[in-house]
Chains A and B, each alone.
Chain A
Amino acid sequence: MRKLRFFAGLSWVLISCNSLIAQPTFPENGVADPRHGYYAFTHATIMKDGATSLTDATLVIKDGKIISVGAGLAVPAGAVEVDCKGKYIYPSFIDIYSDYGTPQRQQTGGGGFFNFNQPIQTESNTKGPYGWNQAIKSDVDVYKVFNVNDANAKPMREAGFGAVLTHVKDGVARGTGAVVTLANEKENMVILKEKASANYSFNKGTSQQAYPSSMMGYIALLRQTYLDAQWYKSKPWQEGFNATLQSWNDNQNLPQIFEAGDKWNDLRADKIGDEFGVQYIIKAGQNEYQRIKEMKATNATFILPLNYPQAQDVEDPNDAKLVSLEDMKHWELAPTECAAFEKAGIPFCLTTADLRSPSSFWTNLRKAMEYGLSEAKAIEALTKTPAMTLGIYDRVGSLDAGKIANFLVTNGPIFGEKTNILYNYIQGIKYSVKTEDNIAGTYNVTVNTPSGTETYTLDVKSMTSATMWGKDTMNTKFSFDGKQIKLAYAPMPKRQRPQMPAGTDSTRRTSGFPAGFGRGGTTTPELPANATRLGGISNGTEWNGTGLDSLGNSLTWTAVFVKTAEVKSDSVKKKEVPVVGKVIYPFMPFGNDEEHLPKQETILIKNATVWTSEKDGILQNTDVLLKGGKIAAIGKNLNEPGAKIIDGTGKHVSPGIIDEHSHIAAASINEGAQSVTSEVRIGDNVMPDDINIYRQLSGGVTSSHILHGSANPIGGQTQLLKLRWGANAEDMKFKDWTGQIKFALGENVKRSNFNIPGGNTRYPDTRMGVEQVYVDAFSRAKDYKKEWDEYNAAKDKLIKEKKPLAGLNPPRRDLELDALVEILTNKRFITCHSYVQSEITGLIEVAEKMGFKVNTFTHILEGYKVADRMLKHGANASTFSDWWAYKMEVEDAIPYNAAIMHKVGLNVAINSDDAEMARRLNQEAAKTMKYGGLSAEEALALVTINPAIMLHVDDRVGSIKVGKDADVVVWSDSPVSIYAKSLYTIVDGTVYFDRQKDEQMQKDIEAERTRLVKKLNGEKRSGSPTIPAIPTYSIMHTCSDHGHSHGFLVIDADEIDNN
Chain B
Amino acid sequence: MKKILSFIITIAFGTVAFAQSNVLPAPAQKGVMYVKNATIHVGNGKVIENGVIQVRDGKIEKVGNDITIPAGETNVIDAKGKQIYPGLILPVSSLGLIEIGAVRASNDVREMGDLNPNVRSIVAYNTDSKVINTLRSNGVLAANIVPQGSFLAGSSSLVQLDAWTWTDAAVQIDGGMHLYMPSLIARPAFGRFGGGMPGGPNASGQQTDPVKEGLEKIETLKAFFREAKAYNAAAIHDETNLKYEAVRNLFDKKQKFYVHANQVKQMLVALDFIKEFGFDVVIVGGSESWQIADLLKQHNVSVILQQMHSLPTSNDADIDQPYKAAAILQKAGVTFAISDDDNQTRGRNLPFNAGTAVTYGLSKEEALAAITLNAAKIMGVADKTGSIEVGKEANFIISSGDLLDMGTSNVTDAFIQGRKIILDDKQKQLNDRYEQKYDLKPKKGF
Could you tell me which A residues sit within 8 Å of B by CB distance?
Answer: 110-113, 203, 215, 261-265, 285, 287, 309-310, 312, 318-319, 321-322, 324-327, 330-331, 356, 588-590, 666-668, 685, 687, 689-692, 694-695, 698, 747, 752-753, 864-865, 867-868, 880, 882-888, 891-892, 894-896, 900, 903-904, 915-917, 920, 923, 926-927, 929-932, 936, 939, 974, 976-981, 998, 1002, 1005, 1009, 1027-1035, 1042-1051, 1056-1059
Restricting to B377-427, which residues have a CB under 8 Å from any CB of A? 404-410, 427
Query: Interface stretch among B172-180, B198-206, B272-280?
Result: B198-206
Is the CB–CB distance between B309 and A920 below 8 Å? yes
Is the CB–CB distance between B191 and A1056 below 8 Å? yes
Min Cβ gap A416→B in Å is 30
A-B contact pairs, 30 of them (CB 8 A): A110-B192, A262-B195, A309-B200, A309-B201, A321-B314, A325-B315, A326-B200, A327-B200, A327-B201, A667-B193, A687-B195, A695-B319, A753-B102, A885-B100, A885-B101, A888-B102, A892-B430, A894-B427, A915-B311, A916-B310, A920-B356, A929-B408, A930-B409, A978-B352, A1028-B206, A1030-B206, A1035-B199, A1049-B314, A1051-B190, A1057-B191
Is the CB–CB distance between B198 and A1035 below 8 Å? yes
Min Cβ gap A920→B in Å is 7
Across the interface, B312 reaches (CB within 8 A) one of A203, A885, A1047, A1059, namely A1047
Is the CB–CB distance between B201 and A1047 below 8 Å? no
Is the CB–CB distance between B191 and A1059 below 8 Å? yes
Contacts of A692 in B (CB 8 A): 311
What 9 additional pairs, Cβ within 8 angstroms, besides A882-B344, A1030-B201? A112-B192, A318-B265, A588-B315, A685-B196, A695-B319, A886-B101, A979-B405, A1030-B202, A1032-B314
Highest count of chain B CB atoms <10 Å: which of A110, A112, A882, A974: A882
Chain A residue nearest to B425 in the complex (CB): A894
Question: Complex formed: what's the CA distance from A884 to B425 in Å?
Answer: 13
Chain A residue nearest to B343 in the complex (CB): A1043
Question: Complex formed: what's the CA distance from A637 to B422 in Å?
Answer: 53
Chain A residue nearest to B430 in the complex (CB): A894
- CB of B233 within 8 Å of the partner chain: no
Query: With A685-B196, A882-B345, A929-B406 given, is the CB distance from A978 to B191 under 8 Å?
Result: no
Is the CB–CB distance between A1030 and B188 below 8 Å? yes
Contacts of B191 in A (CB 8 A): 110-112, 1056-1059
Is the CB–CB distance between B183 and A1048 below 8 Å? yes
Min Cβ gap A1046→B in Å is 4
Restricting to B312-362, which residues have a CB under 8 Å from any CB of A? 312-316, 318-320, 322, 341-346, 348-349, 352, 355-356, 358-359
Question: Complex formed: what's the CA distance from A903 to B410 in Å?
Answer: 20
Question: Complex formed: what's the CA distance from A887 to B100 in Å?
Answer: 5
Query: With A694-B319, A885-B346, A1030-B186 given, is the CB distance from A1047 to B309 under 8 Å?
Result: no
Contacts of B352 in A (CB 8 A): 923, 978
Query: With A324-B199, A1059-B191 given, is the CB distance from A926 to B318 under 8 Å?
Result: no
Indicate the size class of the contact surface on chain B. 35 or more
Contacts of A868 in B (CB 8 A): 437-438
Question: Complex formed: what's the CA distance from A113 to B200 in Å?
Answer: 17
Question: Complex formed: what's the CA distance from A572 to B182 in Å?
Answer: 52
Is the CB–CB distance between A325 and B316 below 8 Å? yes
- CB of B227 within 8 Å of the partner chain: no
Question: Complex formed: what's the CA distance from A867 to B314 in Å?
Answer: 42
Is the CB–CB distance between A1033 and B198 below 8 Å? yes
Is the CB–CB distance between A927 and B406 below 8 Å? yes
Across the interface, A1044 reaches (CB within 8 A) one of B102, B344, B359, B428, namely B344
Chain A residue nearest to B316 in the complex (CB): A589
Contacts of B71 in A (CB 8 A): none
Is the CB–CB distance between A262 and B187 below 8 Å? no
- CB of B121 within 8 Å of the partner chain: no
Is the CB–CB distance between A310 and B201 below 8 Å? yes
Query: With A318-B264, A322-B314, A1029-B186 given, is the CB distance from A916 to B309 under 8 Å?
Result: yes
Chain A residue nearest to B205 in the complex (CB): A1030
Min Cβ gap B161→A in Å is 16
Is the CB–CB distance between A1048 and B192 below 8 Å? no
Is the CB–CB distance between A883 and B440 below 8 Å? no
Restricting to B119-137, which residues have a CB under 8 Å from any CB of A? 130-131
Restricting to B273-319, which residues have a CB under 8 Å from any CB of A? 287, 307, 309-316, 318-319
Question: Complex formed: what's the CA distance from A925 to B310 in Å?
Answer: 18
- CB of B13 within 8 Å of the partner chain: no
Across the interface, A112 reaches (CB within 8 A) one of B193, B345, B437, namely B193
Is the CB–CB distance between B344 and A326 below 8 Å? no
- CB of B48 within 8 Å of the partner chain: no
Is the CB–CB distance between B190 and A1056 below 8 Å? yes
Contacts of B101 in A (CB 8 A): 885-887, 1043
Question: Complex formed: what's the CA distance from A1047 to B316 in Å?
Answer: 13
Chain B residue nearest to A331 in the complex (CB): B201
- CB of B236 within 8 Å of the partner chain: no
Min Cβ gap B294→A in Å is 15
- CB of B83 within 8 Å of the partner chain: no
Chain B residue nearest to A690 in the complex (CB): B197
Question: Complex formed: what's the CA distance from A1044 to B322 in Å?
Answer: 15
- CB of B262 within 8 Å of the partner chain: yes
- CB of B242 within 8 Å of the partner chain: no
